[in-house]
Amino acid sequence: MRPRGGAALRPSSLLFVAALIFAPGCKSWHHLPTHQHWLEPAPALAPPPSTGHAGALRVAVYGDTRGNRPVHREVVAAISEQKPDLVIFTGDAIECLPVGHLPDYSGWQYAIPLWPQIDRNHPWALLASIVPFPALLHDSVGSPIARPRDPDGFNGFLEDTELLRRGGAPLLFVPGNHDLYHRWDREALARLQALSPDRLWYAVDVGDYRFVVLDTGTDLFGDGDAIPAGGAQIQWLDEVLADAEKRNLRSVVTFHLPPFSSAREDGSVPWLRERLVTGVFDRHRVSLVLNGHAHAYERVERSDPSGREMTYVITGGGGAPLFHEASERVAGSKIFIEGVRHFVLLELARDEIVGRMIPVAAGGAGKPQDSFKVNIPEAAPIN
């Protein structure tokens, strides 16, 4: 029996009231600000200026640390011993999750009563769509199990990579989905890179090579599309690759989400295959593509319609939980190595790229578990 003089609040009503109270303060709630010394006198992750380079270029590539700082420091120490001229990080520096598997709507995601729990790689997650106010419940009850925010923010990553900067190796940072789930983090990364939050892509020329960094966004249902078909980033990419051909520069393109992946937990991203591979790369001379996201090592060789072969390398062994090989690998997959922390070391000459996958353990770097060569013939621009 209801007490006289008022109506009892239903649990759903209580949740809605809590969400309305919770939402306005959640844009920056529990996000750790970037320490000022990483921003001054110059932002620590700002793309380096283009520069000349005599002889072969030595480049280390790794990714997907996801806040695992002890392993990350081991990988950085092993890379530092190789004395690279340049380091490429393929994304996912921090361990952040989308609250309730919702996009960041500046706090108002907490007031959304129901949300379709769509996960490209896990269809069964749709069953969780009946859970009310998923963002509110995740942040208030579920956060001890699945923490939405990295307790160190980008500060931990910057501390752990200080050894590379002291060694004089510039770092090209590729934004990953876990780096971008929260608007706060996208804006923090933009400040660290001296870029606009809605334009986290850039190109840097070093010697005979042009390194192109793309922003593939979060791949989260309902979130903004960072790289829409025919959009500004695709148009820019087309122009940058065409300009590289005119200057006779070799292009290496890197972005987080892989168009080809044989990982059981995170497979190929088909919309990137359509927009980037067939939409852009097939019309240009791209020497090498580097990805992260799948926490393993894989090398894929793909031929375009003209028969020209291009190499795709996934390196995601920087500290995140390691993935497994799917029951069937993607077409063109030459090797898939699971369960190994690692980085990739590239030697880039004018006519070839030689790559090695180097495992890392507590004792340091081990013997290479894969090696490959990309031949780069002199050729006229592709129309």
Residue 381 inside a domain? The answer is: no
Domain of 26? 11-33+97-148
Instruction: Looking at the structure, tell me whether residues 118 and 254 fall in a common domain.
Output: no
Q: What is the mean pLDDT of the chain?
A: 91
Instruction: Looking at the structure, tell me whether residues 107 and 222 fall in a common domain.
Output: no
How many residues belong to the chain?
Answer: 383
Q: What confidence tier does 5 reach under pLDDT thresholds 50, 70, 90? A: very low
The most confident of 23-27, 144-148, 231-235, by mean pLDDT: 231-235
Please tell me whether the peptide bond between 41 and the residue prior to it is cis, using omega within 30 degrees of 0. Answer: yes
Q: What confidence tier does 375 reach under pLDDT thresholds 50, 70, 90? A: very high
Express each pLDDT in 296-313 by its tens digit.
Answer: 999 999 998 889 999 999
Express each pLDDT in 11-56 by its tens digit.
Answer: 556 555 555 555 544 544 567 899 999 999 999 999 999 999 999 9
Instruction: Looking at the structure, tell me whether residues 163 and 114 fall in a common domain.
Output: no
Instruction: Looking at the structure, tell me whether residues 266 and 356 fall in a common domain.
Output: yes
Residue 195 inside a domain? The answer is: yes
Of the candidates 92, 5, 26, the one whose C-alpha atom is nearest the C-alpha of residue 314 is 92
What CA dihedral angle connects 324, 359, 68 and 102, to 10 degrees?
A: -40
Q: Give me the pLDDT at residue 107, please.
A: 86
Average pLDDT over residues 116-125: 86
Is a pLDDT exceeding 50 seen at residue 7?
Answer: no
Q: Give me the pLDDT at residue 25, please.
A: 45
Per the structure block, which two tokens stand in for 27?
A: 């844009």
Is a pLDDT exceeding 70 seen at residue 338?
Answer: yes
Instruction: Looking at the structure, tell me whether residues 141 and 15 fall in a common domain.
Output: yes
Instruction: Looking at the structure, tell me whether residues 220 and 293 fall in a common domain.
Output: yes
Express each pLDDT in 238-289 by its tens digit.
Answer: 999 999 999 999 999 999 999 999 999 999 999 999 999 999 999 999 999 9
Express each pLDDT in 62-114 by its tens digit.
Answer: 999 999 999 999 999 999 999 999 999 999 999 999 999 999 998 899 899 99
Q: Where are the beta strands (DSSP E) in 239-380?
A: 250-254, 286-291, 297-303, 309-315, 333-337, 342-348, 352-361, 364-365, 370-375
Q: Tell me 325's DSSP state.
A: B
b/e map 149-180, b = 16+ CB within 10 Å = bbebbbbbbbebbeebeeeebbbbbbbbbbbb
Instruction: Looking at the structure, tell me whether residues 91 and 108 fall in a common domain.
Output: no
Return d(Cα 359, Cα 338) in angstroms, integer.
11
Return d(Cα 34, Cα 194) in angstroms, integer.
14
How many separate domains does the chain show? 2
Instruction: Answer for the pair 261, 333: CB distance below 8 angstroms, yes or no.
Output: no
Residue 383 inside a domain? The answer is: no
Q: Give me the pLDDT at residue 32, please.
A: 83
User: How many Cβ atoms sit within 10 Å of the Cβ of residue 381?
Assistant: 13
The predicted model scores a pTM of 0.92
Q: Give me the pLDDT at residue 1, please.
A: 44
CATH code: domain of residue 324: 3.60.21.10
Instruction: Looking at the structure, tell me whether residues 138 and 109 fall in a common domain.
Output: yes
Is a pLDDT exceeding 60 seen at residue 227?
Answer: yes
Q: Give me the pLDDT at residue 18, please.
A: 53
Average pLDDT over residues 365-380: 89
Instruction: Looking at the structure, tell me whether residues 230 and 278 fall in a common domain.
Output: yes
Q: Give me the pLDDT at residue 189, please.
A: 98
Of the candidates 13, 88, 25, 41, the one whose C-alpha atom is nearest the C-alpha of residue 290 is 88
Instruction: Looking at the structure, tell me whether residues 270 and 297 fall in a common domain.
Output: yes
Instruction: Looking at the structure, tell me whether residues 72 and 191 fall in a common domain.
Output: yes
Express each pLDDT in 173-224 by its tens digit.
Answer: 999 999 999 999 999 999 999 999 999 999 999 999 999 999 999 999 999 9
**pLDDT over 90, % of the chain:** 81
Return d(Cα 179, Cα 218) in angstroms, integer.
9
Is a pLDDT exceeding 90 seen at residue 120?
Answer: no
